[in-house]
Amino acid sequence: MAKSSQHILATVREKIGSYRKILVGFSGGIDSTVLLHALYQIKISELPSLEIRAIHVHHGLNIQADKWEAHCASLCQKWDIPFICRHVTVEGSNKGIEAAARAERYQAYREELLEDEIIVTAQHLDDQAETVMLALKRGSGPTGLSAMPESLAFQAKCGNTVLLRPLLTISRHALEHYRAEQQLPWVEDDSNQDDRYDRNFLRLHIMPRLSERWSHFANAVSRSASLCAEQEALLDELLQDSLDEIIDYRGGLYIDGLVHCSVAKRNALIRRWIGLHQLAMPPFNQLERIWQEVALARQDAEPICRLGNVEIRRYQGALWVVKRINSLMGKQYQWNYPEDYLLPESLGMLVVMEGEGQIRPPQENEVVTIRFGLQGSLSIVGRNHSRSSKKIWQELGVAPWMRERTPLIYYNDTLICAVGCFITPDGFVGENNVGIAIDWQNSEHWINNGEFSSELFQ
């Protein structure tokens, strides 16, 4: 085996470290084929305990997609590697078809990963250089210019894991040499030749000219990205205490803690707060909008700044990240009580807890429904007089966006409770009796009250 190929094997072996369960993103192209083969070689020659699976995502965007799936399945069968193919539907977004396809691909990874398994992808040195160039084109700062990290936390359906890119120091030329030496079959995506896409334009027309003039250009760009990442890591460390002081335990960012900061420090803190929510970093103009139009809006306003599928909102002197959902106002769902109920719009699950609360259980002739959107005036336990729904939400400290999302439990057409917030007299089991509680699991819900006994709202 050539020295360059041995270097690839040694690099992959070093990068996987102590990980022993690996899911490989496998498109069938040269890069992922080399990566999968290198892991296969490591398994049969050095680490028989290594568990490798391959996942191919069928985007349905190319007429050759079925052939690519068959090719990948055949290669995995030859190497005795378990193969998964996930078919996804890609819908164009404001960020383009490439971004939409990538989002679907990574969602497939999240859903397929097993416990203690990491996801490994085949981005290489030239991909890294192209990513930096695209970041320069967008006018990105040090975070964007840091490009792709070799390893980062990855949230999968089964829990937290790691996304690893072991080939980031390996050039495309070295991967092509390895493929040729090992005589590995691969598939070629003809869309890679379409220079209407920015990355393809760089790869086909710009990067070859730069590398022809400066042979180590990609290495130099990658080194600059590493230096930017190092500076960002230092800023993370230096700003951590300041960030901790102005973050609410529910995830909000106190505006008062930002008012007296310099613009540079304020933007750095907002960026890090956004990063904690695992969101794409907004450009400078959106940071300014968050500050000017949301944080500094008049007190009686309910300002919103949209970032992809979330919104930045203001409430009780803090900024909040709020997931965007379809309107639930007036919606009604029948609940097969007492079974667990999965709420719409990924709002979590309702679980009945017998003998642990003060909600009366339904009678046999009562139909239990879940509704959304409280309206009109009503009385609640712990209050002497009826109040408007808006007043009740305000008194309980329920954020405006949570008011439509909070499940309302009805027996027939009688309101019994708003889960986690209040019980009505019709739903109260009585002072000396024990009823049920309804646990709202995996929700964004929170209430800010210190005046009432929390037991009344179970």
Helices 217-245 and 125-138: crossing angle in degrees, nearest 10, is 60
My answer on whether 38 and 169 are in the same domain is yes
Q: What was the pLDDT predicted at 455?
A: 32
Residue 49 in marked binding region: no
Which residues form the domain of 255?
Answer: 245-321
CATH at residue 149: 3.40.50.620
Q: From CA 247, how far away is CA 227, in angstroms rounded?
A: 28
pLDDT in tens, the chain (458 residues): 777 789 999 999 999 999 999 999 999 999 999 999 999 999 999 999 999 999 999 998 889 999 999 999 999 999 999 999 999 988 865 667 888 888 899 999 999 999 999 999 999 999 999 999 999 998 888 888 998 999 999 989 898 999 999 999 999 999 999 999 999 999 988 888 889 889 999 999 999 999 999 999 999 999 999 999 999 999 999 999 999 999 998 889 999 999 999 999 999 999 999 988 888 888 888 899 999 999 999 988 889 999 888 999 999 999 999 988 999 998 999 999 999 999 999 899 999 999 889 999 999 999 999 999 999 999 999 888 899 999 999 999 899 999 999 999 999 999 999 999 999 999 999 888 889 999 998 765 444 433 333 333 33
Q: From CA 144, how far away is CA 225, in angstroms rounded?
A: 9
My answer on whether 128 and 192 are in the same domain is yes
Q: At 354, phi and psi to the nearest 5?
A: -70, 140
In a domain, 273, yes or no: yes
Distances (CA, A) of 51 to 42, 57, 291, 373: 11, 20, 48, 49
My answer on whether 357 and 306 are in the same domain is no
My answer on whether 67 and 210 are in the same domain is yes
Pairing of strands 51-58, 83-87: parallel
Distances (CA, A) of 458 to 35, 400, 419, 453: 53, 21, 7, 10
Q: What was the pLDDT predicted at 452?
A: 30
CATH at residue 270: 1.20.59.20
In a domain, 19, yes or no: yes
Nearest CA among 251, 274, 248, 270 for reference residue 261: 270
User: Do residues 149 and 158 touch, judged by C-beta distance below 8 A?
Assistant: no
CA angle 167, 173, 179 (to 5 degrees): 80
Pairing of strands 253-254, 318-323: antiparallel
Q: From CA 186, how far away is CA 402, in angstroms rounded?
A: 50
In a domain, 263, yes or no: yes
My answer on whether 317 and 268 are in the same domain is yes
For 224-230, the CB contacts below 8 A with 24+ separation are 224/132, 224/145, 225/128, 225/131, 225/132, 225/145, 225/146, 225/147, 226/146, 228/142, 228/143, 228/145, 228/146, 228/147, 229/146, 229/147, 229/149
My answer on whether 142 and 1 are in the same domain is yes
User: Do residues 158 and 237 touch, judged by C-beta distance below 8 A?
Assistant: no
My answer on whether 287 and 413 are in the same domain is no
Q: What was the pLDDT predicted at 144?
A: 86
My answer on whether 44 and 65 are in the same domain is yes
Q: What was the pLDDT predicted at 447?
A: 41
My answer on whether 280 and 359 are in the same domain is no
Q: From CA 454, how far away is CA 458, in angstroms rounded?
A: 7
Q: What was the pLDDT predicted at 389?
A: 94
Distances (CA, A) of 238 to 153, 244, 267: 21, 11, 14
In a domain, 184, yes or no: yes
Q: What was the pLDDT predicted at 444?
A: 54
Q: What was the pLDDT predicted at 89?
A: 87
Q: What was the pLDDT predicted at 332?
A: 95
In a domain, 27, yes or no: yes
My answer on whether 315 and 350 are in the same domain is no
Q: From CA 417, how far away is CA 313, in angstroms rounded?
A: 26
In a domain, 32, yes or no: yes
pTM here? 0.76
In a domain, 232, yes or no: no
Domain total of the chain: 3
Within 10 angstroms of residue 42's Cβ, the number of other Cβ atoms is 19
My answer on whether 399 and 285 are in the same domain is no
My answer on whether 178 and 97 are in the same domain is yes
Burial of 301 (0-12, 13-18, 19+ CB in 10 A): exposed
Residue 27 in marked binding region: yes
In a domain, 450, yes or no: no
